[in-house]
Copies of this chain bind each other. A is one copy, B any other.
Amino acid sequence: MSRIVAKFGGTSVADLDRIRAVAARIKREHDSGHQIAVVVSAMAGVTNDLVDLTRAAHSMHDAREYDVVVSTGEQVTAGLLAICLQEKGVPARSWLGWQVPIRTSDAHARARIEDIEIEEMERRFDDGQVCVLAGFQGIGPDNRITTLGRGGSDTTAVALAAALRADRCDIYTDVDGVYTSDPRIVTRARKLDKVTYEEMLEMASLGAKVLQTRSVELAMNHGVPVQVLSSFDDAVGSELPGTMVVDEEDIVEHEIVSGVTYSRDEAKITLVRVADRPGVAAAIFGPLADANVNVDMIVQNVSEDGSSTDMTFTVTRGDLDRAIEILNDRKDELGYTDLVPDANVVKVSVVGVGMRSHAGVAQRMFSSLAEHGINIQVISTSEIKISVLIAEEFTELALRALHTAYGLDAA
C-alpha cells in the first residue's frame, strides 16, 4: 500500500465527462488499496472567466476579494469529483483550503503555504476515504481565503504530499511526461524516465510549462518524488508510465545533457556607450527592479576607448515597453548614446546535472550552433545549464541541432 497525492489540472477536469474519467482512474488506485488524496484545479477556462470578472469590476481590485471570487472554480470541481467518486462506490469527500486548513501567508493572490494540518485527513485515510482537495487555495492569518498564484494547484499537491509524507505525488497533465525537448519541434525527442529536481527546476523556469517552478522547489526541499504523467491516456500513476522527478542520487547513470529547452518570452535591450564608471550597473538595473521588471541575461562589453561600455540584457517581452520607457527617462543620467531594443530573439538552453562532471559541454553547444550558421548574441550559464540568446527564426534549427549534438535523439 502506498500513500499517493494525485493532481489533475484544468484540461483534465474540463467537463463532467473528464471529471468522471478522473474518478475512474482514482477508483483504480483506490481499489489497489492505496491511500489517495486528489488535488483538483478549476474546470478549464473557469479561472480565466473569474479573473476577467474581477478585473472588469475594478482594475485595481482588492486581492482579498479577488481570492474570494477566483477560488470558487476549484471548489466546484472538488465537490463534483467527490460526487462522481461516490457514484462509483468510492468513499470520498471534498476539502476546501480553509477546512483542512491549509495555512498560508497573507500575500493574497500569491500566498505561500506555511502549514497543512493533516490529522483529520489521515483519519479519513484509515477509513478508506479518498480526500478531494480544492487546489490553489488556502486560508490566511486574517481568516480569509487566499490563492497561491496561477498554476498554484501543483504547489498545493506537492505541499500536501510533503505534509502527508506521501510515497509519490502524481501530476496528471496534458503531456505524458518530461521530454528531452519539445516534441512538437524535435520529432526525435524522447520521454525521460527520470529527471532530477535541479534539472526540472531549470526546465520549468526556462519555459517547459509542465510544472509550476515553485512546486518543483518545494518537492526538492522536501524530497517529494513527483511523477509527471498524462491525464489523457489510461494508465494510472502506480503503473509508473510518466517521468519521475527525483533526487540526483536516485539516478544511476546521468546523460550529460537531459534536455534542450527554449523560451520565446524574451526581449533584448542594448544600451550603446554607457559611461564606464562604478555604479552604472546599479543605476540601470535599480529602477528596473523597482518597477518589477525582471532582468535575466546580462552582458557588458568594454568599448574600444575604455571610457564607455555597451550593456546588453534581456527582459520578458511583456516588460519590454515599460523597460524602454524607464531607461529613456534616465537617458541623461546614464549617458548612453543609443537604446537598441530587439524582441526578435529566443533563449535556447541545454540542461543536465551531468555537465558538472564533464568538460567541453559548452564548447559542443557553441560549435554545433556555429556549424549551422547560428550567431550567439548573449550567453549565460549556471552549474547545470547553458543558455544562449539567438535570433528567433533559428529556434527550430537550433533545438534539432543541439538535440542531435548531445546524443538525445530517439533511435
A53 and B68 contact, Cβ closer than 8 Å, known pairs A58-B87, A99-B143: no
Report B-chain residues with C-beta under 8 Å of the C-beta of A76. 50, 53, 68-69, 72
Q: Classify chain A's interface size.
A: 35 or more
Q: Tell me if A62 is interfacial: C-beta within 8 Å of chain B.
A: yes
Q: Tell me if A66 is interfacial: C-beta within 8 Å of chain B.
A: yes
Report B-chain residues with C-beta under 8 Å of the C-beta of A68. 75-76, 78-79, 82, 94, 96
Q: Tell me if A83 is interfacial: C-beta within 8 Å of chain B.
A: yes
B56 touching A79 by the CB < 8 A rule? no
Q: Which chain A residues numbered 67 to 97 have a C-beta less than 8 Å away from chain B?
A: 67-69, 72, 75-76, 78-80, 82-84, 86-87, 93-94, 96
A57 and B72 contact, Cβ closer than 8 Å, known pairs A65-B79, A98-B98, A99-B144: no
Complex CA distance for A329 and B251, rounded to whole angstroms: 72
Q: Tell me if A317 is interfacial: C-beta within 8 Å of chain B.
A: no
A19 and B83 contact, Cβ closer than 8 Å, known pairs A65-B94, A143-B99, A144-B99: no
Please report A residues at the B interface, Cβ cutoff 8 Å: 16, 19-20, 50, 53-54, 56-58, 60-62, 64-69, 72, 75-76, 78-80, 82-84, 86-87, 93-94, 96, 98-99, 143-145
A84 and B72 contact, Cβ closer than 8 Å, known pairs A94-B65, A99-B144: no
Complex CA distance for A143 and B94, rounded to whole angstroms: 12
Complex CA distance for A316 and B375, rounded to whole angstroms: 81
Complex CA distance for A98 and B82, rounded to whole angstroms: 20
Complex CA distance for A79 and B143, rounded to whole angstroms: 15
A57 touching B16 by the CB < 8 A rule? yes
A82 and B99 contact, Cβ closer than 8 Å, known pairs A16-B53, A87-B57: no
A62 and B80 contact, Cβ closer than 8 Å, known pairs A16-B56, A99-B144: no
Complex CA distance for A19 and B87, rounded to whole angstroms: 37
Complex CA distance for A61 and B87, rounded to whole angstroms: 8
Report B-chain residues with C-beta under 8 Å of the C-beta of A82. 62, 65, 68
Given contacts A61-B86, A72-B76, 6 further A-B contacts (CB under 8 A): A58-B83, A58-B84, A58-B86, A65-B79, A65-B93, A69-B83
